[in-house]
Amino acid sequence: MWTTEHSIETTVAPDAIWRRWVAVERWPEWNADIERIELRGPFATGSTIAMTPRGQDTIELRIGEAVEGELFVDEATVDGNVIRTLHRIDRLDGERIRVVYRLAADGPLAEQLGPAISSDFPDTLAALVEHARA
């Protein structure tokens, strides 16, 4: 299994981050790697997301867990590899939060897919926070 974690600290309100996450169709506004995306069902455990990264085929994600205002996990199977990404809001104190993305890849190509998928996490987190601040 291959894992990585990236985070960013901010004073943006946790609900502003959460609103950006649940507005799946608007993810391309702050995630430059997404060409097209569609949520199928409510933003809840078991629903699916059809995501098309720029210049790539559509990937089917399943929401494996969703805890309103706190976290969600998306899961995908890519060429026999399971990719799980945790998106979490940690409350640090009255004014600061940490937004965390943690990716775990398991399978024969985990060591290749994990770094390729997570390489933009720092930029994506920064763009998410900036979008939530606006």
Cα–Cα distance list, 59 to 34, 36, 75, 76, 120 (Å) = 11, 11, 10, 7, 17
Report whether CATH 3.30.530.20 matches the domain 2-133. yes
pLDDT in tens, 2-61: 999 999 999 999 999 999 999 999 999 999 999 999 999 999 999 999 999 999 999 999
Q: What is the pTM of this model?
A: 0.94
**Per-domain residue ranges of the chain:** 2-133
Q: How far apart are CA 44 and CA 26, in angstroms?
A: 17
